[in-house]
Amino acid sequence: MKKALIVDDSTVMRMMLKRILRNNGYEIVGEADNGLTGLEKYQELNPDLVTMDITMPVMDGITALKEILKINRGANVVMVSAMGQHWYVNEALEYGAKGFLIKPFEEENVLKVLKAI
């Protein structure tokens, strides 16, 4: 079973992603509500997949993405952003994110992104 880490400051978004990922063969090994905690959990848990919100307190998702990719250039990080944040998504993809999800998302869109990884 693939291991996933969900990083999002919204409890509701984490719950939605957790349900979708669990229903599709992922074990949720950790959650974080900011980029710094997400980075720490990435180092501790070594997940196969990270879903990373872009706008969060303490450390934003773009900074956390860069730090994770310093640790593991091949990390599978999928960025999660709200509508209207396309410039952040493009930046994240340039830095090495493997894909992106736009909130609010539906299960079939999440699965499409995961299959592309």
Positive or negative torsion for Cα 39, 27, 55, 74: positive
Residues paired with residue 5 on neighbouring β-strands, in sequence order: 30, 50
Question: Please, is 11 exposed, middle or buried when counting C-beta atoms within 10 Å of its C-beta (0-12, 13-18, 19+)?
Answer: exposed
CATH architecture of 2-116: 3-Layer(aba) Sandwich (3.40)
Every domain of the chain and the residues it spans: 2-116
- Give the pTM: 0.92
* CA 69/CA 109 separation, integer angstroms: 24
Return the closest-CA partner of residue 10 out of 33, 44, 35.
33
Return the closest-CA partner of residue 95 out of 74, 58, 71, 69.
69
| pLDDT at residue 115, rounded to an integer | 85
Count Cα atoms within 13 angstroms, Cβ side, for 87.
Answer: 0
Roughly what angle, to the nearest 10 degrees, separates helices 61-71 and 86-95?
10
**pLDDT tens, residue by residue, 17-45:** 999 999 999 999 999 999 999 999 999 99
- Written as tens digits, the pLDDT of the chain (117 aa) is 899 999 999 999 999 999 999 999 999 999 999 999 999 999 999 999 999 999 899 999 999 999 999 999 999 999 988 766 666 777 777 888 998 888 887 888 888 888 888
| pLDDT at residue 40, rounded to an integer | 98
